[in-house]
Structure 1
Amino acid sequence: MSELKQLEMQKDDEMEIDLGEIFHLLMNKLWIIVLCFIIGATLAFGGTKLLITPKYSASSMIYILTKTTSVTSLADIQMGTQLTADFEILATSRPVLEEVIEKLNLDYTYEELKSMIQTDNQTDTRILRFTVLDANAKEAKKIANELADVTAERVAYVMSSDKPKVVEEAVVPKYPSSPNTKKNTAMGGLAFAFVAATVIVLRYLMNDTIQTEEDIKKYLGLHMLAAIPTEKRESI
């Protein structure tokens, strides 16, 4: 039983030694990993700036009403909350988006415009938010505001009630919302560094050649009695 424990302890020691060697190996090759990180970060930064078109997002919001009266009951609030989810779908319906395209004279198809729009309704609210993503900041603002107005008219028509109020109009965004240059740069650098570290470790693990006296003792359990030095002769 004691021999079994001794073997297990020996295996644990070997594992610790191996992990320690891998750590020291990575430290010795740290310059390669850092160099790969810099290369990856540079490529990711350049690719993000040169190959990806910046997109701007603009948002507008409308407040959904269910009744024209000033007194709102709990049932009305619940009804409005439930209907808001329906109006999310209505906002991106073909009649609404085609009207937006016609009013703004946009060079988009219904499918293209729909892919640029995101609707959002926060839980337990009757506020519907429209977010438009476009390469043109001014156009993103125009589409978001027009979409809010057309959707409000459509809701009033469907519900046979007053037109919902626009509680927030979109403004021209100053900065692009995508791509995230910092994130892409960091991810590119980390990816290259990880690949470099993986290659270094794999080459170490696959190298089973005996190189030092310690390797002979460690892997073969033998003690070296003597060593034959090699002498390099100079060419005449």
Structure 2
Amino acid sequence: MQDTIDLKELLKIIKNRIWMIICIGLIFGITSGVVSQFLITPEYKSTTTLIINKENEDSKTQLSNSDDLNYVQKLAYTYSEIITSRTVLTKTIDKLNLDMSYKKLASCIEVTNISNTQIIKIDVEYRNPKIARDICNTIPTIFDKEVQRIMKVSGVEVIDKAVASSKPVKPNKKTNVILASIFGIFVGICIAIIEVLLNTKIKTTSDIKENLGMNVLGVIPKQ
């Protein structure tokens, strides 16, 4: 039995069992495609963007100087926490009559502060594209009222309203199939190597010398 395999032997193993390795890769890829198509519920994403304003002489104006911009960028992090707070999300659930818990809704939401800007982006992923859109458009309305009540400051304004997506973002069938196929090929190579390492049969005269430490005196040819 061999203990190690060098690169030349590895390439030979792959070459001799290439069809087995390809078949295993195809099986993994096809299985992933079937699972992605029929067993995984697709999810759709809706996105809205908000801009933070500051009260200035009884009117809402966008900030321009660097000090105010730094202040607003820090404020954006606070706003992000308020957006995903229990108060805001619970009121969103009640307004839309959603059949889900606060934690479930929170897991569907991702809030991002756009670097070096006053903009906050809200992404909502859900299995129903229209509900994802409605959640995305309802949260800013409720948040705007709550942030003014909590912090006594002006709220935010919506830059882009969310729309219902026609294509799911999850699962990514193409990526899943490719990754599963690559993994299947890797598994096939591992199986081929293990098969060789566990094979104790003597096939050639070199096997006798390597495994038994004996010299071959002669070979009887096949009739």
TM bracket (short chain): 0.7 to 0.9
**Distance across 1 between alignment mates of 2:127 and 2:11:** 47
Q: Between Structure 1 and Structure 2, which shows a larger proportion of strand residues? A: 2
Give the 3 Å change call, closer, same or farther, for CA 95–221 of structure 1 in structure 2. closer
**Consecutive unaligned residues in structure 1, runs of 5 or more:** 1-14, 232-236
Q: Between Structure 1 and Structure 2, which shows a larger proportion of helix residues? A: 1
Residue aligning to 1:95: 87
Give the 3 Å change call, closer, same or farther, for CA 175–221 of structure 1 in structure 2. same
Query: Shift in Å at residue 154 of structure 1?
Result: 2.0
Aligned counterpart for 1:151 among listed residues 140, 143, 157: 143
Query: Shift in Å at residue 225 of structure 1?
Result: 2.6
Residue aligning to 1:114: 106
Give TM-score scaled by structure 1 length: 0.83
Give TM-score scaled by structure 2 length: 0.87
**Distance across 2 between alignment mates of 1:208 and 1:136:** 57
Query: Shift in Å at residue 24 of structure 1?
Result: 1.2
Q: Letter of the aligned partner of 1:131 in structure 2?
A: D
Give the 3 Å change call, closer, same or farther, for CA 93–148 of structure 1 in structure 2. same
Counterpart of 2:56 in 1: which secondary structure?
A: coil
**Distance across 2 between alignment mates of 1:203 and 1:106:** 55
Alpha-carbon displacement from aligned partner over 1:150-191 (angstroms, at most 9, x marks no partner): 112222333323332111110111100101111111122222
- Bigger CA radius of gyration: 1
Counterpart of 2:122 in 1: which secondary structure?
A: strand
Q: Letter of the aligned partner of 2:196 in structure 1?
A: Y
Q: Letter of the aligned partner of 1:49 in structure 2?
A: Q
Residue aligning to 1:142: 134
Alpha-carbon displacement from aligned partner over 1:21-78 (angstroms, at most 9, x marks no partner): 2211211110001111111111111111111100001011111123334474432211
**Distance across 2 between alignment mates of 1:138 and 1:61:** 18
Counterpart of 2:217 in 1: which secondary structure?
A: coil
Aligned counterpart for 2:50 among listed residues 41, 49, 62: 62
Question: Contact 1:56–1:175 at 8 Å: present in 2 too?
Answer: yes
Structure 1 residue 27 corresponds to structure 2 residue 3? no
Alpha-carbon displacement from aligned partner over 1:190-233 (angstroms, at most 9, x marks no partner): 222211210111221233443212323455565423224577xx
Counterpart of 2:55 in 1: which secondary structure?
A: coil
Structure 1 residue 74 corresponds to structure 2 residue 66? yes
**Distance across 1 between alignment mates of 2:20 and 2:49:** 51
Q: Figure out how many residues of one structure are paired with residues of the other and give that number.
A: 216
Aligned counterpart for 2:27 among listed residues 39, 50, 58: 39
Residue aligning to 2:207: 215
**Consecutive unaligned residues in structure 2, runs of 5 or more:** none
Counterpart of 1:79 in 2: which secondary structure?
A: helix
Higher mean displacement: 167-176 or 191-200: 191-200
Superposed CA RMSD in Å reads 2.1
